[in-house]
Structure 1
Amino acid sequence: MKSVKVRDYMTTNLVTFTPDTKLFTAIKTLLDRHISGAPVIDQEGHIVGLLSEWNCLQRILHGSYYEEVGGVVADYMSNGEDVHRIDPNADIVDVAEMMTTHHWRGPLMVEEKGKLVGILSCPDILKVIYDFDTRNL
C-alpha cells in the first residue's frame, strides 16, 4: 500500500465544545450529530480535553444518585493530557499500527502548530483500506 497521509482522510468538519458549554447542550449535540464524542478546545483552538458519551453516561449516573446532574463540559471531560495527538503529515498505516499496539480506541486529535485541525478515527482508517482494496479488485 502506498503512503497515505493523515490529512488526506481526517475529518475536518468538526464538532467541538468549550469547557463552559452546558453539559446537556453538549449531549444534545452528540445525539443530533450521531457522534460518540468531541474535542474540547480553548479560545485559541488548543485541545484541553475530550467529551465522550461514556464520560457523560458515567458522570450522569453518578450524579443522579446524589441528585447533582448538570454542570458544564469541564466537569465531565477527559483531561487534555489523556488525548492522543498526531501530525497531519503522519503516515496513516503507521498511525493505525500505533493505535493497535497501544490500544488507543478513541479518536485521535490531529494538530498542526499546536492547534486542532482535524480528527482521525477508526472509520477514517477503514476507509483508506476499503478505498485501496476496491481500487485493486
Structure 2
Amino acid sequence: MGIKSFQGKRAEPEKPKSAPMLVRDYMTTSLVTFKEDENILDVAEKLTKNKISGGCVVDENNKLVGLISEGDCMKQISDSQYYNMPLEDTTVGKRMTCNVETIDGNMNVMDAAKLFIEKRYRRFPIVEHGKLIGQISQSDVLRAAVRLKSNNWAD
C-alpha cells in the first residue's frame, strides 16, 4: 500500500497581476528647460554640458511652448556660417519646434514605445493642467522594458 497524503491536491499558486507600467513612473521630472529668448549658443552649451540631445521650451508659468534640439542648434550654426550672419541675435524662439506632441502621464509605457516607433521622436513632454511636469525619452522606455523583462518575461 502506498502512503496517502491528507493535504489533498495543491492549487497552482496565483501569479500576481502586474501593475500597469505608466509613463509617469519612468518619466524624468528634473528637466533642463529653455526660454524663448535664450541665445542658441547658450542652448548648445547647456545641451552639451548636460549630455542631452534637446529639451522643452517653457514660458514664465512653466507652460510648454516648444522643443529645441541639437539639430535645431546645428542648423542655425550652419546657416550662420553659410550666410555670414551673427549667432548672437538668434534665439530659441526663432528655431524651436512649436507644434509639440505631448503624451499623458497615465499612458502605458509600452504604448509610448509604439508612439516612439511611429513618430520617430526622441522625447515626449508630459503636461498636466497646462504645465510641464516631465518628459519621457526613448532611454526611459528602454529602462521600463528591462524592468518588465526581469519581472514577467522570465515566467
Q: Report the TM-score when normalising by structure 2.
A: 0.80
2:72 maps to 55
1:44 maps to 61
Larger Rg: 2
1:9 maps to 26
1:73 maps to 92
1:107 maps to 123
Percent of residue pairs identical: 33
The residue matched to 2:146 in structure 1 has which SS? helix
Q: Matched residues in 2 for 1:8 and 1:63: separation?
A: 41
Q: Report the TM-score when normalising by structure 1.
A: 0.90
Structure 1: where are the runs of 5+ without partners?
Answer: none
Q: Matched residues in 1 for 2:32 and 2:48: separation?
A: 12
2:108 maps to 91
The residue matched to 1:85 in structure 2 has which SS? coil
Query: Which piece of structure 1 moves more, 38-47 or 1-10?
Result: 1-10
The residue matched to 2:32 in structure 1 has which SS? coil
| Aligned-partner residue type, residue 65 of structure 1 | Y
Q: Matched residues in 2 for 1:135 and 1:112: separation?
A: 29
1:25 maps to 42
Higher relative contact order (CA 8 A, sep 6+): 1
Displaced runs of 4+ in structure 1, greater than 3 A?
none
Q: Matched residues in 2 for 1:69 and 1:36: separation?
A: 23
Q: Is the 8 A contact 2:33 2:55 kept in 1?
A: yes
The residue matched to 1:78 in structure 2 has which SS? coil
Q: Is the 8 A contact 2:36 2:91 kept in 1?
A: yes
Q: Is the 8 A contact 1:60 1:69 kept in 2?
A: no
Q: Matched residues in 1 for 2:124 and 2:86: separation?
A: 29
